[in-house]
């Protein structure tokens, strides 16, 4: 099973890369081109401030606030910015809503374009040649590897992020969540459900 | 820097060559320079879904040759058109393609 | 360009193998690589489009054998040299003896 043990085939490069990046950072710092404190701040931003919790808050609000959902559909960049989520790799956003008829999946076949402002840094699988090559060709086979089986009559739409539009999948609200507030709902919204390789959790 | 981002939308003066609903064919080209028209879509026919206004053209901007903004369109392709008869049923692929990547079909 | 990056519909890469509870980084250097790459991008010497071209211009054997952060670092080094911010000699001496071995497509 892919979930049990992921063999990081590239770990054999770990030590040389550690030395290489250290050396590069030292050279750049000595030349005054970068400041290690600024690098720390960038790392901290994506560790604590920017991540899939942002996207989950957007989705949960769309589930509970029809006016916001409408705005998100018409102008995702502005609607998402209004929640305080702006910046790099989120300058031009589009929200794509799953329906019973159509399931949406995002990819960047050409590099690793990903909606950073709402999902943070992409996971390894999103950047992997396996995902980028196959999800446009055989998305159902790929989704099955994530444990996601869709009804056979559901269309699968794959959005290839070839330009600077960044996509956020808005999954369908799970059944059995009536009466739940945005915070409790946000806890159900996984990163994979906002890429389209998964569905939200179902409340226990 | 992180909170601001770097928007790449730009005004363009020309009128759009395509409108939503138009049938378009991705050009067949094999440039040595940077491009954002993936190989698997080249030469294939799709339908314009949306027009997004002008965006910096990567093909020139990647090489210090200027931004040359062009209109950007979301184009939807049928899976069987791209991959042939064996494509997964119900597959739809879309990509965001610059005007210069497209011809009327 | 028809580079190694243009992956749509290519075959042979195996299953996707998503990792459960994946950590943000798989080694400490990956975090530094991310931060250094963004900090250098903020110098404003090259646009993101040129950064992408530098990545896809890596030799296919290197591209397919590298983690994504390694791709970033190799491309960053090439841009720093191209723009005269760092010399190839400085990079080589900074790396000392840890210069990477010649890549091969099969040594995954």
- Give A100's contacts (C-beta < 8 A, 6+ positions apart): A154, A172
Question: Which CATH number covers residue C33?
Answer: 1.10.472.20
Higher model confidence: residue A87 or residue A135? A135
Measure in Å the smallest separation between the Cα of A198 and chain B Cα atoms.
17
Confidence (pLDDT) at C24:
95
What's the pLDDT tens digit per position in A11-38?
A: 454 479 999 999 999 999 999 999 999 9
Q: At what angle do helices A66-74 and A52-64 cross, to 10 degrees?
A: 120
What's the pLDDT tens digit per position in A84-126?
A: 999 989 899 999 999 999 999 999 999 999 999 999 999 999 9
Measure in Å the smallest separation between the Cα of A67 and chain C Cα atoms.
34
Q: Which of residues 45-74 of A touch C (CB under 8 A)?
A: 46-47
Q: Which residues of A participate in catalysis according to the annotation? A: 108, 111-113
A59's tokens: 């989705």
pLDDT bracket for residue C99 (50, 70, 90): very low
Q: Is C89 left (phi over 0), alpha (psi -120 to 50) or beta?
A: alpha
In a domain, C102, yes or no: no
Among the partner-chain residues C6, C47, C48, the one whose CB lies closest to the CB of B38 is: C6
Question: Is the pLDDT score of A9 beyond 90?
Answer: no
Chain A residues close to B96, C-beta within 8 Å: 160-165
What's the pLDDT tens digit per position in B3-56?
A: 778 899 999 999 999 999 999 999 999 999 999 999 999 999 999 999 999 999
What's the CA gap between A23 and C7, in Å, rounded?
A: 32
What's the CA gap between B30 and A147, in Å, rounded?
A: 38
B3 touches chain C (CB under 8 A): no
pLDDT cut 70: percent of chain A above it: 93
Q: Is B104 left (phi over 0), alpha (psi -120 to 50) or beta?
A: beta
| Domain regions of chain B by residue span | 18-104
Chain B residues close to C9, C-beta within 8 Å: 39-40, 82-83
A135's tokens: 């999800």
C36's tokens: 């250094």
Confidence (pLDDT) at B5:
85
DSSP A10-23: TGGGHHHHHHHHHH
A162–B97 C-beta distance less than 8 A: yes
Burial class (CB in 10 A: 0-12, 13-18, 19+), B95: buried
CATH architecture of B18-104: Roll (2.30)
In a domain, C45, yes or no: yes
Long-range contacts of range C94-99, CB-CB < 8 Å, 24 or more positions apart? Answer: C94/A23, C94/A24, C94/A26, C94/A27, C95/A19, C95/A20, C95/A23, C96/A19, C96/A23, C98/A15, C98/A16, C98/A19, C98/A20
Chain B residues close to C56, C-beta within 8 Å: 34
Confidence (pLDDT) at C100:
46
Q: Which domains does chain A have, with CATH numbers?
A: 13-47 (no CATH), 51-195 (3.90.330.10)
What's the CA gap between A128 and A124, in Å, rounded?
A: 6
Measure in Å the smallest separation between the Cα of B5 and chain A Cα atoms.
4
B94's tokens: 């879309």
Confidence (pLDDT) at C93:
85
B101 touches chain A (CB under 8 A): no
Map residue A136 onto helix, strand or coil: coil
Helices marked H in C1-108: 28-41, 48-56, 60-65, 68-82, 88-95
Confidence (pLDDT) at C94:
79
Question: Is the pLDDT score of A52 beyond 70?
Answer: yes
Helix/strand/coil (H, E, C) string of chain B?
CCCCCCCCEECCCCCCCCCCCCEEEECCCCCCCCCCCCHHHCCCEEEEEEEEEEECCHHHHCCCCCCCCEEEEEEEEEHHHHHCCCCCCCEEEEEEEEHHHEEEC
Higher model confidence: residue B1 or residue B78? B78
Contact indicator for A124, B28 with CB cutoff of 8 Å: no
Measure in Å the smallest separation between the Cα of A169 and chain C Cα atoms.
18
Mean pLDDT of C13-21: 95
Mean pLDDT of A155-177: 97
Nearest to C78 by CA among C47, C103, C51, C100: C51
Burial class (CB in 10 A: 0-12, 13-18, 19+), A41: middle
- Give A129's contacts (C-beta < 8 A, 6+ positions apart): C7, C10, C13, C64
Please give the model's pTM, rounded to 2 decimal places. 0.93
The chains found to touch A (3+ Cβ pairs under 8 angstroms) are B, C
Total domains present in chain C: 1
C78 touches chain B (CB under 8 A): no
Local structure of residue A1 (DSSP, 8 states): -
What's the CA gap between A204 and A191, in Å, rounded?
A: 19
C22 touches chain B (CB under 8 A): no
In a domain, C23, yes or no: no
Which residues, listed in sequence order, are joined to residue B74 by a DSSP beta bridge?
B50, B96
Which candidate in A109, A116, A162, A169 is best for mutational testing of the B interface (most B CBs within 10 A)? A162
pLDDT bracket for residue B1 (50, 70, 90): low
A88–C29 C-beta distance less than 8 A: no
Domain that holds residue C36: 28-96
A128's tokens: 């992997």
Q: Which of residues 21-80 of B touch A (CB under 8 A)?
A: 36-38, 40, 52, 55-56, 58, 72, 74, 76
Mean pLDDT of A36-52: 97
Nearest chain A residue to B4 by CA distance is: A87
Question: Is the pLDDT score of C108 beyond 90?
Answer: no
What's the pLDDT tens digit per position in C39-71?
A: 999 999 999 999 999 999 999 999 999 999 999
Question: Is the pLDDT score of C72 beyond 50?
Answer: yes
Mean pLDDT of all residues in chain A? 93
Question: Is the pLDDT score of A5 beyond 50?
Answer: no
ipTM above 0.85? Answer: yes
In a domain, C16, yes or no: no
Among the partner-chain residues B5, B9, B96, the one whose CB lies closest to the CB of A90 is: B5
What's the pLDDT tens digit per position in B55-69?
A: 999 999 999 999 999
Dihedral, CA of residue C71, residue C75, residue C76 and residue C80, to nearest 10: 160
Helix/strand/coil (H, E, C) string of C42-55?
CCCCCCHHHHHHHH
Mean pLDDT of A180-185: 97
In a domain, C92, yes or no: yes
Mean pLDDT of C25-42: 97
Burial class (CB in 10 A: 0-12, 13-18, 19+), A128: buried
Confidence (pLDDT) at C96:
52
In a domain, C103, yes or no: no
Confidence (pLDDT) at A15:
76
């Amino acid at each position: 099973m892919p979930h049990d043990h992921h063999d990081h085939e590239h770990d054999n490069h770990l030590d040389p890369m550690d030395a290489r990046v250290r050396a590069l950072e030292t050279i750049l710092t000595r030349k005054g081109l970068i400041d290690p404190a600024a690098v720390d701040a960038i790392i901290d931003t994506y560790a604590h401030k920017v991540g899939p919790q942002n996207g989950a808050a957007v989705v949960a609000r769309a589930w509970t606030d029809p006016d916001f959902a409408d705005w998100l559909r018409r102008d995702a960049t502005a609607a998402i910015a209004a929640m305080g989520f702006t910046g790099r790799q989120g300058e031009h956003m589009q929200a794509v809503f799953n329906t019973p008829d159509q399931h949406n999946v995002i990819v960047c076949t050409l590099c690793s374009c990903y909606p950073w402002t709402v999902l943070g840094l992409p996971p390894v699988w999103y950047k992997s040649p396996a995902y980028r090559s196959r999800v446009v060709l055989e998305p159902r086979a790929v989704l099955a590897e994530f444990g996601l089986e869709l009804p056979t009559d559901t269309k699968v739409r794959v959005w290839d992020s070839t330009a600077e539009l960044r996509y956020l999948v808005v999954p369908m609200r799970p059944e059995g969540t009536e009466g739940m507030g945005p915070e409790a709902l946000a806890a159900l919204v996984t990163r994979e459900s906002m890429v389209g390789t998964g569905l939200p959790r179902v409340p226990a | 820097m992180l909170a601001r981002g770097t928007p790449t939308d730009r005004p363009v003066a020309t009128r759009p060559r395509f409108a939503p609903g138009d049938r378009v064919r991705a050009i067949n080209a094999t440039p040595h320079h940077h491009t954002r028209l993936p190989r698997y879509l080249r030469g294939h026919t799709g339908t314009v879904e949306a027009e997004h206004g002008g965006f910096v053209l990567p093909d020139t901007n990647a090489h210090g040759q200027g931004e040359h903004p062009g209109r950007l369109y979301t184009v939807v392709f049928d899976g069987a058109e791209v991959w042939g008869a064996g494509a997964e049923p119900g597959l739809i692929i879309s990509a965001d393609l610059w005007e210069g990547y497209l011809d009327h079909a | 360009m028809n580079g190694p990056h243009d992956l749509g519909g290519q075959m042979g890469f195996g299953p996707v193998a998503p990792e459960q509870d994946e950590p943000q980084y798989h080694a400490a250097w990956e975090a530094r690589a991310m931060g250094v790459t963004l900090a250098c991008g903020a110098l404003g010497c090259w646009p993101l489009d040129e950064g992408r071209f530098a990545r896809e211009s890596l030799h296919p054997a290197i591209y397919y054998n590298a983690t994504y952060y390694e791709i970033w670092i190799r491309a960053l080094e090439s841009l720093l040299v191209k723009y005269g911010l760092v010399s190839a000699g400085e990079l080589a001496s900074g790396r000392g003896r840890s210069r990477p071995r010649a890549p091969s497509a099969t040594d995954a």
